[in-house]
Structure 1
Amino acid sequence: MAKYMLLIHGDAAQWEAMTAEEWAAHHAAHAAFREAAGSRVVGGEQLEPAPTATTVRGGVADEPVITDGPFLDTKEGLGGFYLLEADDLDEVIRLVSLLPEVRATHSAVEIRPVVSRG
């Protein structure tokens, strides 16, 4: 069984503008995804907004350079993730289609196979 990282991208301003009812529907859709995926969900969490991030890069003389926030060229930032085990990409796509970010105009779900070294 292969592992897949599902990266949930979206516009933080759009998420922040959601009403309590919209959040309830959003959480219900994620609960339906987790129920359908069952034990295939290995992990996953919602992330704090992008401005709370810290980025560490290589600097001069092997000293790291630390900056606030991620480097973004777009309004879309990483909002959360799931780590999923599945037989194949088709199974992952079928499950991902249950996530509300797939239907929202400001967000998307990126599917990345995890490298297996063993």
Structure 2
Amino acid sequence: MKKFLLLIREDITRLSQMSEEEIQQDIAEMNSWVEELVRFDTFIAGEPLENEYRMVGKQVETDGLLMDAKEGISGYLMIQAESLQQAAAIAAQCPHIIQDKISIEVRPIMEIHQEP
């Protein structure tokens, strides 16, 4: 099994305008999905992130469009899967993906082999 990082991207403005009831509903939906991942021995770790952040260091140049200023990373999950395709299929089952509330960037975690 290989490890994958799921970066949860969503509209930070939408998050800041949600009622407490909507926030709790979103949390409950995500918790249910994570419980499912745990049952299938896929979940490794994950946490929601607060909206506040600071960029540090040199900005990386890009050839494409820059990330929309109102979009941000609101959380992450670390899972295990056999392949990038399987990890993406797992991410596609997230209820907030199905409801078109978020996008998830699926990234394989590089294995670094250390010599003894």
Sort the TM-score into its range (normalised by shorter chain).
0.7 to 0.9
Is 1:46 equivalent to 2:45 in the alignment? Answer: no
* TM-score (norm: length of structure 1): 0.72
Write the distance in 2 (CA, Å) between the matches of 1:90 and 1:55: 31
Aligned to 2:82: 87
Give the letter for the 1:42 counterpart.
I
* TM-score (norm: length of structure 2): 0.73
Aligned to 1:62: none
1:35-84 CA distance string (max 9 Å, x none): 111142221111111xx2122215xxxxxxxxxxxxx7412111110111
Identity %: 26
Q: Does the residue aligned with 2:96 lie in a helix, a strand or coil? A: helix
- CA pair 82-114 structure 1, distance change in 2 beyond 3 A: same
Q: Does the residue aligned with 1:80 lie in a helix, a strand or coil? A: strand
Count residues in correspondence.
103
Aligned to 2:109: 114
Aligned to 1:30: 30
Give the letter for the 2:24 counterpart.
A
Q: Which ranges in structure 1 are unaligned for 5 or more consecutive residues? A: 59-71
Q: Which ranges in structure 2 are unaligned for 5 or more consecutive residues? A: 59-65
Q: What is the RMSD computed on CA atoms of the aligned residues?
A: 2.1
Write the distance in 2 (CA, Å) between the matches of 1:34 and 1:105: 18
Write the distance in 2 (CA, Å) between the matches of 1:13 and 1:91: 31
Write the distance in 2 (CA, Å) between the matches of 1:104 and 1:73: 21
